[in-house]
Chains A and B, each alone.
Chain A
């Protein structure tokens, strides 16, 4: 029986082993939704296309499979833009399918027409505009291939409504040149690998710097570190690629990195970068970054090598393939170096601390909630690290964490110990507030047997709060931990340090009543105001279905340590307030 373009699209998705698609219907994609009707492909209806995009992204990060999102033409497709840019920055495999107006209407400012192909060109790994139903199957397969191979990334396929409605002819031959221009180098250059191995053996103070590209090479990363006794620091994207509680794990490096990691970078003589891209939030002042070190840079994307920092040994290849070649049976000990790191003396550099109750704009008379008690001054609050460490140990570090952006994200990175790869789902490159809630939904669907905990802030969650409806509708057992400091905490922290405490537009106040709101979405809720509530907190985290937990946090709570933007990694504010390092933690946290 002849099939329409839309029917071919759905059957191709099934051929490609897609289990879930996230999306939102509209005129131009009605043919797809008609083909989905009664199909065994599971469609998750989010409440906003941005939510669908982030959910597909979270699904992809947690499962390692390609995330799929569908949106209609015009506003539906433009609502995907942030989600695509986010996935592009963090190299997440995703395929976005958007409807386009009928091919005869293109270019005429037709109803719900937007040049989605043009708009998304710079924020996708590749994109397509299909006007011919006979190309749908081949291009969709190509899109999945491109999204998931090499350095992964989002691919968008824009399809006109007529191509979706027309019947595909069997003979639909493709007049296309195959993917000759798309090469994926897996194998690293043997000579470079040999040089790297030699350097590792000669080094006195080697350090591994692992990024998001090391997530799927975690086993070999562990072997590399253990065989050669090399300490490891991970980026925000690299969290989980190396076990969080491992003695060799120095924690995160960079702006809110640990002093041990940052000082190790500045003192090492060999830096082995694996799937990391020397982002400015990681390196601080580039010209002072790892000044004493030779750099071995392993990356699947040749363009990353030498982009920000010159590599002494460039190795283009897949992390697993390269590490397999690199590691041999030699055992090395770097006892002196490791002891040196553990006993680093921190420079005593303190930053301005907020003066309590200094928030000017909540007392401004024109604030619409002026009659309410000053929102920044909560009577009771809990230290966020206590809550996060408790959550971490409650799940024996075997949880999946999704975060939003801001202080909540940095605290989650610092205080929750992630033991497994693909288990810290966060918007690193773009820093997208509103990413967390929908990403948690996707992650939970991608790894149904494990518990996803979302750590979010009151600013961030309101950017996609409508997705509470998705959680409720599908009974997705995500546990939301909202660290409610009633301010845009991270921005406020910068105002404290760099803008003399002039808190311009960073007070979000006591609106809304989040627990009541969660209840309105028929999600049970709990408010944690003090240490007495922690038992209930644990029960809520272990509950069967979804749970919304609001934790009262003091607005003056800050993220430390901190390296000011553009400063060298040695120049840390409040290094002494860092989270306890792995070698000082009890081995059996609860």
Chain B
């Protein structure tokens, strides 16, 4: 794709029937039609028959409508909520394994970010952080100087705030 095309980041909450293969259907659709997935998180909902897939996609603006329409054609897709412009709470979770030599420095940073130390070993500490993408990016950047050995991040989840 040429650089000239401006990509928009969009958050979609896709409610699907909790049937075998449904995640393959959704991701397969994205691959087949050449849409870019930025992140994806799946889990059960308040109704055991329904799962919720939160997808962050990066697409040229004029293709976004197509993405939603194509998703709607999947029989297992029950509902799509575009949360991009909604009042919402969004969270990601990350676990970061970082060199623990300068433990007090790290503790301070962890404190500022309201993160947590969840495991300690003689050489490393594991940090758990939740928040939006920017916050996690910022923490990772801060810890980078101390020597990060491993990172795992979930996809983003998001929920619209209820109306006043």
Query: B-contacting residues of A (Cβ < 8 Å)?
Result: 117-118, 121-122, 125-126, 129, 146, 175-177, 179-182, 301-303, 306-307
Most A CB contacts (10 A, CB to CB) among B21, B72, B75, B78 go to B75
Nearest-CB distance from A454 to chain B (Å)? 33
From A126, A146, A177, A306, contact of B50 by CB (8 A): A177
Chain B residues within 8 Å of A, Cβ to Cβ: 16-21, 24-25, 28-29, 32, 49-50, 65-66, 69-70, 72-79
Number of interchain pairs (Cβ within 8 Å) = 48
Q: A179-B75, A181-B78 are in contact. Are A306 and B21 (CB under 8 A)?
A: no
Cα–Cα, bound, A118→B50 (Å): 21
Contacts of A176 in B (CB 8 A): 17, 19, 49
Q: Is the CB of A177 within 8 A of B17?
A: yes
On whether the beta carbons of A181 and B69 are closer than 8 Å, the reply is no
User: What does DSSP make chain A's interface, helix, strand, loop or mixed?
Assistant: loop
30 contacting pairs across A/B (C-beta < 8 A): A117-B21, A118-B24, A121-B21, A121-B24, A121-B25, A122-B28, A122-B29, A125-B75, A129-B20, A129-B21, A146-B75, A175-B49, A176-B17, A177-B17, A177-B49, A177-B50, A177-B78, A179-B75, A181-B16, A181-B17, A181-B77, A181-B78, A182-B75, A302-B69, A303-B66, A303-B70, A303-B72, A303-B73, A306-B66, A307-B66
Q: A306–B65 contact, CB under 8 A? A: yes
A340 vs B28: C-alpha distance in the bound complex, in angstroms? 48
Q: Give chain B's interface secondary structure class.
A: mixed
CB distance from A128 to the nearest CB of B (A): 9
Q: How far is the CA of A121 from the CA of B70 in the complex (A)?
A: 14
State whether B32 touches A122 (Cβ < 8 A): yes
Q: How far is the CB of A151 from chain B (nearest CB, A)?
A: 8
> Which residue from chain B places its CB closest to the CB of A181 in the assembled complex?
B78
Complex Cα gap A181–B49 (Å): 13
Closest 9 CB pairs of A and B: A303-B69, A181-B78, A126-B75, A177-B49, A182-B75, A181-B77, A122-B32, A177-B17, A303-B70
A303 contacts which chain B residues (CB < 8 A)? Answer: 66, 69-70, 72-73
What would 7 more interface pairs be, CB under 8 Å, given A181-B17, A181-B75, A302-B72?
Answer: A121-B21, A129-B20, A179-B75, A181-B74, A181-B77, A303-B72, A306-B65
Given the complex of chains A and B, what is the CA–CA distance between A181 and B73 in angstroms? 8
Report chain A residues within 8 Å CB of B66.
Answer: 303, 306-307
**Which residues of chain B have C-beta atoms less than 8 A from A118's C-beta?**
21, 24
Closest to B15 in A: A181
Quick check: A180 and B78 within 8 Å, CB to CB?
yes
**Which residues of the other chain, B, contact A177 by a CB distance below 8 angstroms?**
17-18, 49-50, 78
Chain A residues near B28 (CB-CB < 8 A) = 121-122
A127's nearest neighbour on chain B, judged by CB, is B21
Q: How far is the CA of A117 from the CA of B66 in the complex (A)?
A: 25
Taken together as a complex, chains A and B put the C-alpha atoms of A303 and B21 apart, in Å, by 22
The answer for the CA separation of A523 and B17 in the assembled complex, in Å, is 52
Identity of the chain B residue whose Cβ is nearest the Cβ of A146 in the assembled complex: B75
What residues of A have a CB within 8 angstroms of the CB of B69 in the complex?
302-303
| A122: B residues at CB distance < 8 A | 28-29, 32
Q: Smallest Cβ distance from A514 to chain B, in angstroms?
A: 39
B36 CB, nearest partner CB in chain A, Å: 18
Residues of A within 8 A of B65 (CB): 306
Please indicate the chain A residues that have their CB under 8 angstroms from the CB of B24 in the complex: 118, 121
